[in-house]
Amino acid sequence: ETEQRATYIVHMAKSAMPAEYADHGEWYGASLRSVSTGRAAAAKMLYSYDTVLHGFSARLTEQEASDMAGMDGVLAVNPETRYELH
């Protein structure tokens, strides 16, 4: 529970959304909750993306990121990068 969280970009396969979800935001939220269940602090979603990627960004522990990467419908889980002005 003392693990540090970092931001990850989670890419989802939009077409793989299970039928029980009404929209993708709901599916993303459920996916996020499923990897942080049982932890003292829930993983937090920062953004849900829909136009340039299907997925979301969230604060995850390394373990949560790893678990997320193994879930059905998850294409990739990439750690956040810091860019600089040129």
Among 7, 21, 29, 42, binds other proteins (CB under 8 A): 7
Least CB distance to other proteins at residue 26 (A): 18
- Are the CB atoms for 62 and 8 separated by under 8 Å? no
Least CB distance to other proteins at residue 4 (A): 11
- Nearest-angstrom CA–CA distance, 18 and 30: 11
Residues that bind other proteins (CB under 8 A): 6-7, 9, 11, 13-16, 44, 46-47, 49-54, 57, 59, 75-76, 78, 80-86
